[in-house]
Amino acid sequence: MAQQSTETDWVSRFADEVVAEAERRAAGKVTSGASAPGTGVVVASGLSPSGPIHLGNLREVMTPHLVADEIRRRGIPCVHILSWDDYDRYRKVPAGIDPSWEEHIGKPLTAVPAPPGSPHANWAEHFRAAMEESLAELGIEYRGISQTAQYTSGAYREQILHAMRHRKDIDAVLDRYRTKDKATGKPKKQQQKPVDAAELEAAEGSGAAGEDDGSAGGAGYYPYKPYCTVCNKDFTKVIGYDDETTQMSYECVACGHSETVALREFDHGKLVWKVDWPMRWAYEGVVFEPSGVDHSSPGSSFVVGGQIVREVFGADQPIGPMYAFVGISGMAKMSSSKGGVPTPGDALKIMEAPLLRWLYARRKPNQSFKIAFDQEIQRLYDEWDKLAAKVADGTAQPADAAAYTRAVGTAAGELPRTPRPLPYRTLASVVDITAGHDEQTLRILSELDPQNPVASLAETRPRLDKAEHWISTQVPADQRTIVRDEPDEELLAGLDEQARGSLRLLLDGLDDHWSLDGLTTLVYGVPKVQAGLTPEAKPTPELKVAQRAFFALLYNLLVGRDTGPRLPTLLLAVGADRVRRLLGG
Ligand SMILES: [Zn+2]
């Protein structure tokens, strides 16, 4: 094996494992995969476009993406299959959609009309398109496969007939996990209990969680469910099947239709989820496919699928780590136009693609984390910029440097970045104060560092646009900064000698300190000078109290509150003339 096992991070370790497994399979121990040999290592993800695809479900794609990308960086061909589970049934009408869409429940997602006003042909395409846009922005390279196209073209016909022939074997596997009722010995329906609504949403996006496994009472077990050819819904029941002729009889509970079809020519239905998934592992030769915690418990589709793929389809189960939920912190209600479900597209409006990639790259899949839509995003960006600086000067830890490299580019090249990445919190403060007024924004940004002034806003984009979107959609009105139009005469008149003196010191130093660094020195230095210390003196506890009082006074005079954006940024943003006027100079 000619792989360089760097062991620096979780991505490398999985890539080692996946490449070794692919080599073991290629060595002929196991023959699997209908796909032509030579396509390289196959990793897979599956997404159900049943509604807005939750930001948490991005992990379903990012985990195999990062592993595939590492394998490609090693020069080994690797295909990342993204199955769009768009032949799944339409299960429920999400919040915010016309309730009359309920009439479509039970149809394939591709047979449901798109939400009103959508330019897309159907429900699945509408939500898939939004996700595809985000995946492109994130630099994720994949081969999308529509399960509707696969099933309705008859691609899986042999696999379906095979599963039907082995229905007793499948039933026996499923039976190992059915919870038996002690009194009757009959299977008891298992209840899955998601922790909260957000987790339920996340679970729903990652495959057909909660779908029944095809157990069908007295008529025997069938792993296949037809969509009724009259009403196109799956409230159907298979009531007979002949292995010789493949004649299948079913009845539809929804419309009363019943018919007998030849399954070897019939492309209007699908294998139940717990059989569908392992069938595809075998069909595609998947070596790596992670799944959410909801799929990994005993009796879950990943565990059951592992037995079905071996015992029924004669192939191997992929390496499939469980990934933990990704939460969201502080997404403002005002931006939840899509029923309160934050999507990757929502995150990419407030943060650059490399930052979002980094959140996934730096955490092992089994570690949960939150994606910040609140003030925390500013701290996160500070951390990101610090890491970039460490990488640039070669002082980053190997694992941190690896996560950084995976975030800023892929095997195909670097992702677009902001040419001049000014601190996000500074940009946020500036656009907060200027309300996105370009000319004013440029004036302030060019004064931040007079030695090396920003010459055009383009240098600061797209980060500037992300900060602006964050301020305007995520920061509540009562936390926005509104600079006073007129001085607070009453407050100014009531100031004691000490306070007046501090304002005088500040105003006298403004011109000589008009830059971000200069004003930082000035605002911290004023209380020191007043206490008889030099501006370089180390702060004592008493001095810190004096600084806090001085800062609160400035905030009150400038923005009418006790707090606000960092003072040097605020002073630059307000402008020297207006600062003088508001501080009574
Ligand atoms: Zn029907």
- Report how far apart, in Å, the C-alpha atoms of 323 and of each of 57, 278, 355, 367 are: 10, 19, 20, 7
State the distance from the centre of ligand 1 to the C-alpha of 405, rounded, in angstroms: 53
Asked if residue 11 has pLDDT above 70, the reply is yes
What pLDDT is attached to residue 173?
94
**Residue whose C-alpha is closest to residue 467's, from 430, 442, 437:** 430
Cβ contact 233:254 at 8 Å: yes
State the distance from the centre of ligand 1 to the C-alpha of 46, rounded, in angstroms: 28
State the distance from the centre of ligand 1 to the C-alpha of 477, rounded, in angstroms: 52
State the distance from the centre of ligand 1 to the C-alpha of 393, rounded, in angstroms: 66
pLDDT, greater one: 332 or 162:
162
The SS3 assignment for 60 reads helix
pTM beyond 0.85: the answer is yes
Q: Taking each helix axis as running N to C, give the angle between helix 167-175 and helix 301-311, from 0 to 180 degrees, rounded to the nearest 10.
A: 140
What pLDDT is attached to residue 436?
82
State the distance from the centre of ligand 1 to the C-alpha of 93, rounded, in angstroms: 20
State the distance from the centre of ligand 1 to the C-alpha of 100, rounded, in angstroms: 19
What pLDDT is attached to residue 336?
42
Asked if residue 28 has pLDDT above 90, the reply is no
Helical segments of 147-286, H only: 147-152, 157-165, 167-175, 197-205, 273-284
Highest mean pLDDT among 145-159, 328-342, 526-540: 145-159
State the distance from the centre of ligand 1 to the C-alpha of 127, rounded, in angstroms: 26
What pLDDT is attached to residue 177?
85
Average pLDDT over residues 201-219: 49
Asked if residue 5 has pLDDT above 70, the reply is no
Phi-psi region of 97 (alpha: psi -120 to 50; beta: other; left: phi over 0): beta
pLDDT, greater one: 482 or 195:
482
State the distance from the centre of ligand 1 to the C-alpha of 267, rounded, in angstroms: 16
Residues 110-133: pLDDT tens digits?
999 999 999 999 999 999 999 999
Cβ contact 80:44 at 8 Å: yes
What pLDDT is attached to residue 29?
58
What is residue 288's DSSP assignment?
B
Cβ contact 87:122 at 8 Å: no
Asked if residue 234 has pLDDT above 90, the reply is yes
pLDDT, greater one: 359 or 181:
359
Asked if residue 82 has pLDDT above 80, the reply is yes
Band of pLDDT at residue 299, cut at 50, 70 and 90? confident
**Residue whose C-alpha is closest to residue 69's, from 46, 36, 41:** 41
Asked if residue 339 has pLDDT above 70, the reply is no
Kindly report the backbone phi and psi dihedral angles of residue 44, in degrees, each rounded to the nearest multiple of 5, phi listed first: -140, 155
State the distance from the centre of ligand 1 to the C-alpha of 235, rounded, in angstroms: 7
CA–CA distance, 87 with 238 (Å, rounded to integer): 19
State the distance from the centre of ligand 1 to the C-alpha of 300, rounded, in angstroms: 30
Asked if residue 35 has pLDDT above 50, the reply is no
State the distance from the centre of ligand 1 to the C-alpha of 276, rounded, in angstroms: 22
Band of pLDDT at residue 478, cut at 50, 70 and 90? confident
State the distance from the centre of ligand 1 to the C-alpha of 227, rounded, in angstroms: 8
Band of pLDDT at residue 203, cut at 50, 70 and 90? very low
What pLDDT is attached to residue 185?
52
In this predicted structure, which of 131-145, 317-331, 391-405 has the lowest mean pLDDT? 317-331
State the distance from the centre of ligand 1 to the C-alpha of 204, rounded, in angstroms: 25
Average pLDDT across the chain, whole number: 89
State the distance from the centre of ligand 1 to the C-alpha of 217, rounded, in angstroms: 20
State the distance from the centre of ligand 1 to the C-alpha of 209, rounded, in angstroms: 24
State the distance from the centre of ligand 1 to the C-alpha of 130, rounded, in angstroms: 31
Average pLDDT over residues 237-248: 97
Phi-psi region of 207 (alpha: psi -120 to 50; beta: other; left: phi over 0): left
State the distance from the centre of ligand 1 to the C-alpha of 256, rounded, in angstroms: 6
**Residue whose C-alpha is closest to residue 113's, from 105, 103, 123:** 123
Residues 260-271: pLDDT tens digits?
999 999 999 999
The SS3 assignment for 555 reads helix
State the distance from the centre of ligand 1 to the C-alpha of 240, rounded, in angstroms: 17
State the distance from the centre of ligand 1 to the C-alpha of 252, rounded, in angstroms: 5
Asked if residue 71 has pLDDT above 60, the reply is yes
State the distance from the centre of ligand 1 to the C-alpha of 232, rounded, in angstroms: 6
In the chain, pLDDT over 90 holds for what percent of residues?
Answer: 76
State the distance from the centre of ligand 1 to the C-alpha of 479, rounded, in angstroms: 55
Residues 170-191: pLDDT tens digits?
999 999 888 765 555 554 444 3
Average pLDDT over residues 14-28: 94
Average pLDDT over residues 418-442: 93
State the distance from the centre of ligand 1 to the C-alpha of 260, rounded, in angstroms: 13
In the chain, pLDDT over 70 holds for what percent of residues?
Answer: 88
Asked if residue 208 has pLDDT above 50, the reply is no
State the distance from the centre of ligand 1 to the C-alpha of 159, rounded, in angstroms: 25
State the distance from the centre of ligand 1 to the C-alpha of 231, rounded, in angstroms: 4
CA–CA distance, 103 with 112 (Å, rounded to integer): 9
State the distance from the centre of ligand 1 to the C-alpha of 255, rounded, in angstroms: 4
**Residue whose C-alpha is closest to residue 531's, from 510, 511, 545, 512:** 545
CA–CA distance, 436 with 444 (Å, rounded to integer): 12
Average pLDDT over residues 412-433: 95
* Torsion, Cα of 251, 252, 258, 259 (10° steps): -80
What pLDDT is attached to residue 216?
53
What pLDDT is attached to residue 296?
62
Residues 507-523: pLDDT tens digits?
999 999 999 999 999 99
Q: How many CB atoms lie within 10 A of CB 98?
A: 10
State the distance from the centre of ligand 1 to the C-alpha of 167, rounded, in angstroms: 24
Kindly report the backbone phi and psi dihedral angles of residue 313, in degrees, each rounded to the nearest multiple of 5, phi listed first: -100, -5
State the distance from the centre of ligand 1 to the C-alpha of 243, rounded, in angstroms: 24
Helical segments of 341-483, H only: 344-350, 353-361, 376-393, 398-408, 424-434, 438-448, 463-474
State the distance from the centre of ligand 1 to the C-alpha of 269, rounded, in angstroms: 13
Asked if residue 328 has pLDDT above 70, the reply is yes
